Structures are given as structure tokens and as C-alpha cells.
Amino acid sequence: MPSVVTYWVEHAWLPHPNGPAVQPEVLITAGPDGRITGVTPRSGPCPAGAVRLAGLALPGQANAHSHAFHRALRSTVQVGSGTFWTWRDTMYKVAAALDPDRYLALATAVYAEMALAGITAVGEFHYLHHGPGGTRYANPNAMGEALIEAAARAGIRITLLDSCYLSAGFGAEPTEPQLRFSDGDADAWADRAAALTDRPHARIGAAVHSVRAVPAGQLGTVAHWAATRRAPLHVHLSEQTAENDACLAAHGVTPTRLLADHGVLGPRTTAVHATHLTDEDVRLLADSSTTVCMCPTTERDLADGIGPARQLASAGCPITLGSDSHAVIDPFEEARALELDERLRTRTRGHWTAGALLRAGTSDGHASLGWPEAGRLEPGALADFCVLALDSVRTAGPSPVLGAETAVFAASAADVRHLVVGGRHVVQGGVHRLVPETGRALADAVAALR
């Protein structure tokens, strides 16, 4: 790769003192450190030596919540009916077939699918740590290392959110499938996770799987680990009312209150789902500046309910987006679902602007994953962006000035033509340059688990 790369895009959604706006004929220059050194709108025609990209450049999308192996469940879990909990049993069967090599192959293909969808950074909420029955691999972080390597092979950034997962429920020992998730106690989790190190494309964060999976007395250990490293800390929160009921029965408080009382909430923390909250829970999350990650396509797939995203945002919580179970991988679908779900619930329109929804998927998403220098097209930021076609059957017609509205309310992942990560052209003309046969790679990796 040349040390400096200049891209010329037909249009780009750029920061502006009056709010982000679409600008024409934009030169974006990436320096040898992978950061943007210049952004010049209205630059005239593409100059010689620049890489010409047709369409609309947006900051790279941050997929703030992923379990890569759930991709192997696609369609399989759409047969018949069932509940969240029967879905989980199917998910455990897939997990049982994974080892580090198979997970490397699967995650590489899944992250390549994400790159093709415009995603430049993934937050991988990782809890499948150990071998069958809980047997330690020779390298106890072999599975986490496989995920970090998979992101490198797919050309995207990763924040490995290493998850502490110790119990089946309040006061319950892990079940057989869950033995692969457990380190025994939070101190052992902390020792293992401490051996993971940042790379140029990878950062390490922590996760509390849920208040079900980490005993209350050990929540503080995970929170302290993340605090001393100033690392992101993520936690599944109140996705199902059953979790709230069990927490109230065990501790007499809601899961949000339990997390607050043990120092888990705060500005580096992201609560994932937050579907079933009391007004007091919303206040605790907002007062602590906790981010909330909504995963609308998974939440509707699992019949979780519609989380109070607008109420949380109005109270002061940054909102981010994740594809979670990968029922689909499409950041534009996640973004529009936030607004459209709210419209169905309230029978009124206009809760979020397209710009606010893009912000959730870009700058706020990256910040929640510990990449605050990504998610904006401006000098100094990481040169991470995607380019959407404005001439597809979905996106043709509207004026390019309405590019944000087109991206959020009409485009799909299939409209992503280019992806640039750290100045490197990873997706070119809708083809992944590192994993060119991405569909085949997905098919082979999923078939290997059957």
C-alpha cells in the first residue's frame, strides 16, 4: 500500500458547524498511519492519482454487539415456533461444534460479510472461551485469539469484549454447555483476560455476560478490571422479563439497580438491549452516562419487545446499534428499525433524524467500543469509511443532498460498494478483496459445524 492514498468520492456525509451534511466531490486523503490527513469537499473532478469512488461516503459503521458464531443459526432457527430459551438451546448445539480452527474460519467469513455491509469495527461479545466440558486449551485464550485473527483476515477492526460467564442463573451452577463459558470465578476470568493484548486492529474490553451469569459479589471484580485499563465494559441487560423477575426474587432489585450498586454502570459501559426497564432504571443509566446498544433485528427475531431507545436517548444515554445474533447483518436496517419501531409503538413519526441514526451507528458506536478516534470523516480520525451506491434500484431517485435519509430509510447492506479501513481499500466494487468468495467461505464454515 502506498504511504499516502487519496480517494475522491462523488458525495460524502461530512461534519459541519450547522450539523452533518452531504457535500459533493470530496477528496479524502489517508496518511501512512491510517488516519485522515485531509478532507476537501467541492474539489472539482477526480484528479490524476486519486482513487475514484462513485456514490456516497459515510463513516464506517460500528457493529457494537456481535456473537460471531450465531451466524451459523441463520434460517435454522426460523423453523417452527419456540421461545428465546428454546432458541438458546439451539445456539448451544452450534457452540458445541466449535473449536479454534473452525471458529477462525467462521468468524473470518462473518466479519467479511460485515465488511461487505459497511462495517469497519465490530464489538465481539465473546464468551465461548474453553473446550468441551470446560477443558482449557493449551492457550486459554485460543478462541479469543481466533476472533482477533479473523478480524485481521477480514480487514476490519475488532474490540474483543471478553465476557465473564460463571453461572446458569442466580445461585445456579453452570449447565453442561455453559462449562465452556466459565473460568470458575471472576478472579480467574480476570487473570485469563489479562493475557490478551491490543493490536493495531484490535482492542480488548470486558463484559459481564448478564446479572444471571455473574454472581452479584463478583460484578465488582469485572468492573474494576475494566476501570484500571480504561477499557470498554459491556453487559446484556433486561432483554427478557424473566431476567428481571429472577433478579427481583434473588436480590429484591432490578438488574439495572444491581449493576449500579456494584459499580458496573458508567461512561465506558454499554448496556445491551435494555428492553424492559423501569423509569428508575432509565434514570440510573442516564445519570451514569451509560451507553445503550440496541439490536433491533435480533430483538424482533427473538420476540424480546421494543426497548425504550427514545426515552433513553432523551434522558441522556448515547445509543448504539448491533446485529447481535446476525439474523441479518445490515447496519442500515438496524438504524431504521430504531425509528420505525418507535413509530409503530406511538403511531407518530419523526422520533429520530436520519443524521441521529447515522451517528448511533458511527461515532457513538465506535466510542462505545473504545475507538473514539473513528466514526467521523475529518482530519485526525481513522480513515475508515464505506461508500454506498446512489444508483441502485433502492437508492436511485432522491437528490444526493438527501443521502443520509436514503442511506437510513432505503438502502441495504447490498448497496455498499466500497469499504476503506485505515486507508486500505478492503471492499472494492462490492467484492471483498481479502475474502473474495465470501458466500462460499460462509457456506463452508457453517457446513463444517453440521
Which residues are designated catalytic? 273, 324
Pair 115, 59: CB distance under 8 Å: no
Residues 6+ apart with CB under 8 A from 413: 116, 117, 118, 328, 329, 330, 331, 332, 333
Backbone angles phi, psi at 235, to 5 degrees: -155, 135
* 207: number of Cβ within 10 Å: 29
Least distance from C-beta 175 to Zn ion, angstroms? 18
Which C-beta is closer to Zn ion: that of 64 or that of 112? Answer: 64
Cell reading at 370: 473504545
Smallest distance from Zn ion to CB 7, Å: 34
CA separation for the pair 9, 52 (Å, rounded)? 6
CB of 236 to Zn ion, least distance (A): 6
Region of 242 please: left (phi>0), alpha (psi -120 to 50) or beta.
alpha
Least distance CB 272 / Zn ion (angstroms): 6
Give me the least distance between CB of 33 and Zn ion, in Å please: 33
Whole-number Å distance between alpha carbons of 215 and 238: 16
Residue 273 in contact with residue 294, Cβ under 8 Å? Answer: yes
Judged by CB, which is closer to Zn ion: 141, or 325? 325
Q: Which is nearer to Zn ion, 281 or 324 (CB)?
A: 324
Nearest Cα to Cα of residue 156 among 68, 89, 238: 68
Site string for Zn ion, 281-320 (x = CB under 5 A): ----------------------------------------
Cβ 369 to Zn ion shortest distance, Å: 14
* Contact of 370 with 203, CB cutoff 8 Å: yes
- Report the DSSP beta bridge partners of residue 199: 202
Residue with cell 460462509: 442
Determine if residue 350 is left, alpha or beta; phi over 0 gives left, psi from -120 to 50 gives alpha, anything else beta: left
Nearer to Zn ion, 361 or 422 (CB): 361
What is the three-class DSSP state of 233? strand
Say if residues 211 and 259 touch (Cβ distance below 8 Å).
yes
Q: How many residues belong to the site for Zn ion (CB under 5 A)?
A: 1
Nearer to Zn ion, 65 or 351 (CB): 65
Give the nearest residue (CB) to Zn ion: 324
Taking the least distance from each CB to Zn ion, the nearer of 4 and 303 is 303
The packing angle between helices 354-361 and 331-346, to 10°, is 130
Q: How does 406-432 read in b/e, with b if 16+ C-beta sit within 10 Å? A: bbbbbbbbebbbbbbbbbbbbbbeeeb
Closest approach of Zn ion to the CB of residue 65, in Å: 6
Interface with Zn ion in residues 319-348 (CB under 5 A): 324
| Residue 46 or 329 with smaller CB distance to Zn ion | 329
Q: Which residues bind Zn ion (CB under 5 A)?
A: 324
